[in-house]
Amino acid sequence: MPLSAPSLPHPLKYLPMKLSRAFTLVLVLLLAASSHPARAAALTREQRDAMTPDAIIAVMKEGNARFRRGERKERNFLAEQQASAQGQYPAAVILSCMDSRAPAETIMDLGIGDTFNTRVAGNVVNDDIIGSIEYGCAVAGAKVVLVLGHTACGAIKGAIDQVKLGSLTGLLDKVQPAIAATHYDGEHSSKNYAYVNAVGRKNVELAVAEIRKRSAVLRELEAAGKIKLVGAVYNLETAEIEFLP
Ligand SMILES: [Zn+2]
């Protein structure tokens, strides 16, 4: 009796093809996971503690590179939220501007539980912000302090123009040292894009120095190599974050 394919029991007949399709699917998923690792849960203490400050900065740079390519890591924000509800182990504290176009987690493709964020116009430093950063590093274990300014910052322009408006006046006063310290050959005007950015960059440098100067807690952690303080400027047009030397 010839054994023809139709005489095979039904499930067996299709099994080889199903197996091969399933294998291909698994392979594709594995490959996808290796190039864009999906992270269902938030950063754990073990994962965070295993990273050096430089490794955390590298993750931020890679995330910004993905953002610039129009890509993002597969992630489940709800799962990250639920996983971190009972405890958070952020890797960094970010001080950035309130500007709507410079949301730190988004432009570095980071998730829930990854970073502490303090946002204030002009990313200026004050005692409450330094206290927040001290909490983030000395109590909660973050290893990087990133001061993130950006191009075409309205707070920098306002400070250049010496805007006076309610409590904003006092905030903009905190940018004046950066204006005084900026060496720029050319028009010193809020209309001059390059000048505004030069002041913005200096403002980041001075903020990093100010945090270091005013916080013995952070100075000691940095001297012990446990944390790193770094400045960066986000370019609104290119979407690139330039980390300052
Ligand atoms: Zn700004």
Average pLDDT over residues 75-101: 95
pLDDT higher than 50, residue 63: yes
How far apart are alpha carbons 71 and 93 in whole angstroms? 24
The per-residue pLDDT for 5 is 40
Average pLDDT over residues 169-190: 98
The secondary structure of residue 198, as a DSSP letter, is H
How far apart are alpha carbons 37 and 15 in whole angstroms? 31
Residue ranges covered by each domain of the chain: 1-35, 40-243
On average, the pLDDT of the chain sits at 89
Tell me the CA–centroid distance for residue 218 and ligand 1, in Å.
Answer: 25
Domain 40-243 maps to which CATH number in 3.40.50.850, 3.40.800.20, 3.40.1050.10, 3.30.230.10?
3.40.1050.10
Tell me the CA–centroid distance for residue 6 and ligand 1, in Å.
Answer: 71
Pairwise pLDDT comparison (30 vs 240), residue with the higher score = 240
| Predicted structure pTM score | 0.84
Tell me the CA–centroid distance for residue 155 and ligand 1, in Å.
Answer: 5
- Cα distances (Å, whole numbers) of residue 17 to 20, 89, 141, 237: 5, 46, 52, 50
Tell me the CA–centroid distance for residue 97 and ligand 1, in Å.
Answer: 5
Tell me the CA–centroid distance for residue 199 and ligand 1, in Å.
Answer: 12
Tell me the CA–centroid distance for residue 111 and ligand 1, in Å.
Answer: 22
